[in-house]
Amino acid sequence: MPTIEISKKDLEMLLGKKLGADELKDRAMPFVKADIEDMQGDLLKIEIKDTNRPDLLSVEGIVRELQGFYGIKIGLPKFKIKRSNVKVKVDPNLLNIRPRGAYAIAKNVKVTEHLLKQMIQLQEKICETFGRKRKEIAIGLFDYDKVSGNLRYYAANPKTSFIPLDFNEELSLEEILKKHPKGQEYGKLLSGFEKYPLLVDEKGEVLSMPPVINSEYSGKVTIHTRNLFVDVTGFDQKVINTALDIVCAALHDRGAKIESVTVEYKDKQIITPMLEPKKIIVSTELIENIAGLNFKRDEIKKYANMKRMYCRPKKKCFEFKYCSYRADIMHAVDIVEDILIAADYNKLRLEKAQVPSKGAELPLHNYTKTMREACIGLGIQEVLTFTLTSKERQCRNMLLSEENIVELENPLSNEYSIFRRSLMPELLSVLAKNKHREYPQKIFEVGKVALKKRSSNEEFVEEKELVSVIVSHRKADFNEIKAIFDAICCAMGYKSVVEKVEHPSFEKGLCARALIDNKGAIFGVVSKEVMKNFNLDVPVVALEMEL
């Protein structure tokens, strides 16, 4: 869980209320899903328990929530955004490099030491957690008084040079990746590209080289800075818009006047930031079923106001509006959770569960347990991977089409945008991350996958339980994986019929399919192209079978 540091005096100044140590620990922090790890004088170390709330990674976001808790400011926060004439033109050549941007201007900022520390911390924490170590989100803050006219975000020649932040000599983009500490840390995000992203103003002055480093000229923000330019880049427009909204909301709460910027793509224009509230309808029945209580309509409205939301009762439901930076709200259940937090979980009436059944293991659990024991008995190590994954890993890297994949409607990251339909690509990713370990490497996983199916009149999702085995070492061959398959079949009491097949993910002539009680299995030598896609260079054989 991310930990942030804030000043108690700064929190109280923004909140307009003094809080004792006990009040902070027992009431204030639990309301924002946080714990105080340490208090040393004015310094508070706070652990944020909800990683889906990047807006709480600074004192401004915490204060915004606490204003509702203490009734200082209730309901939906209002943000005034003035339209500016500033434009950022985005180069279509950035498509496969880092294609999306979102920008804003913050004027009349009273930059203090507290604000500076919070903005740097917010920037770093969002990029490291929500932004997956700058892969999905990179944020830059600049002295806007040093920026001229409209801007251009384009794919630059590696020989292009500027003075990077905290350096006093000009370096080319390729030199920055080798010599600058940030280039050495984040250069892998640009590895393999012939050109690199660059943000410049009308005069050609460099602002930043996303996602690596800002320029020394405009990228150094101090207590003397009065106007800021905010830059967010990544791959998913919704995700980077959310990050920009969080930063702009924090600056707005510090008294800054926020101005929007027009982002020009090849085929469209967008205005950022919007900070427009989002809307969701929640049924009264859902609230009552989850809470186990019959709340009065005025109570629901009161609790929504405490959680900084707008609430309007309708027939058998409620209309809620919430801030655009609330990345955690994806379903009506998330609204109910906020209502219960405001109502105070500790005050809810406990009821004894009336369950008219006896607990017992499902037959499938005994079955998978036997399968695990069989694999472990063969000297294969079990691993666990995420159920959510990416199209790139499951489809493109495996040389397969995107047919039958189950997608999330509003994914926060491309890395976790679909349900896995196979365990094999996830295990290959595990191998890729452990190339420095000793060989041979033998791993397996037993787990669920999801596939989209279609009948004559409906579309539905089918879940399957699979086992997948991966073996990698210099002498790994088809005979080895066939022997493992035979050993598993023997341990499980399977009788199989094996036949030779061709499969895009396996080497031609070195792949077989088996049928076991109408359940499928496939095994063979992983193709060189698939290995290249996963950055593997030691031979790999694989097996996947349905339980």
CATH 3.50.40.10 spans which residues of the chain?
Answer: 81-272
Rounded Cα distance between 312 and 217, Å, is 49
DSSP 8-class letter at 164: B
Mean pLDDT, rounded, of the chain: 92
Strands 151-156 and 81-90: parallel
With a cut of 80, say whether residue 311 has pLDDT above it. Answer: yes
Question: How confident is the model at residue 293, as a pLDDT?
Answer: 79
Q: Hey, what long-range contacts does 123-128 have (CB within 8 A, 24 or more apart)?
A: 123/247, 125/2, 125/4, 125/54, 125/57, 125/58, 126/54, 126/57, 126/243, 126/246, 126/247, 127/211, 128/2
3.30.1780.10, 3.30.56.10, 1.10.132.20, 3.40.50.1580: which CATH number matches 279-344?
3.30.56.10
Assigned architecture for domain 363-546: 2-Layer Sandwich (3.30)
The pLDDT value recorded for residue 359 is: 76
Say how far residue 291 (Cα) sits from the centre of its chain.
29
pLDDT tens-digit series, residues 77-118: 999 999 999 999 999 999 999 999 999 999 999 888 999 999
Tally Cβ neighbours within 10 Å of residue 299.
14
- Encoded tokens for 517: 């009680």
pLDDT at 458: 81
* DSSP character at residue 129: I
pLDDT at 354 over 90: no
pLDDT at residue 360 is higher than 80: no
Percent share of the chain, pLDDT over 70: 100
Q: Mean of the pLDDT values across residues 377-401?
A: 93
The pLDDT score that the predictor gives to residue 203 is: 95
**Looking at residues 282-298, what average pLDDT do you find?**
89
| pLDDT one-digit tens code per residue, 133-185 | 999 999 999 999 999 999 999 999 999 999 999 999 999 999 999 999 999 99
pLDDT in the model for residue 497: 87
The mean-pLDDT minimum among 205-214, 285-294, 479-488, 529-538 falls in 285-294
pLDDT at 194: 94
For CATH 3.30.56.10, the residue range(s) in the chain are: 3-67, 279-344
Mean local confidence (pLDDT), 404-426: 90
Cis peptide before 211 (omega within 30 of 0): yes
- What is the predicted pLDDT for the residue at 459? 84
Residue tagged 């290959």 (tokens): 428
pLDDT for 55 equals 94
Q: How far apart are CA 543 and CA 260, in angstroms?
A: 53
Tell the CATH topology of 3-67: Phenylalanyl-tRNA Synthetase; Chain B, domain 1 (3.30.56)
**Contact predicate 97/155, CB 8 Å:** yes
Q: Which residues pair with 34 in a beta bridge?
A: 48
Is CATH 3.50.40.10 what the domain over 81-272 is classified as, yes or no?
A: yes
Res. 355: pLDDT tops 90: no
Higher-confidence residue of 454 and 117: namely 117
Contacts 24+ apart (CB under 8 A), 428-431: 428/397, 428/470, 428/526, 428/530, 428/534, 428/536, 428/540, 428/542, 429/385, 429/393, 429/534, 430/383, 430/385, 430/470, 431/470, 431/472, 431/534, 431/536, 431/540
CA nearest 214: which of 161, 166, 159, 147? 166
> Where does the pLDDT of residue 455 fall: very low under 50, low under 70, confident under 90, or very high at 90 and above?
confident
pLDDT band at 444 (very low <50, low <70, confident <90, very high): very high
Spatial distance between the Cα atoms of 200 and 155, rounded to a whole number of angstroms: 11
pLDDT (0 to 100) of residue 397: 93
Token digits of residue 482:
């066939």
pLDDT band of residue 487 (cuts 50, 70, 90) is very high
Which residue is it, tokens 């997608």? 407
Question: Running DSSP on this structure, what letter comes out for residue 59?
Answer: H
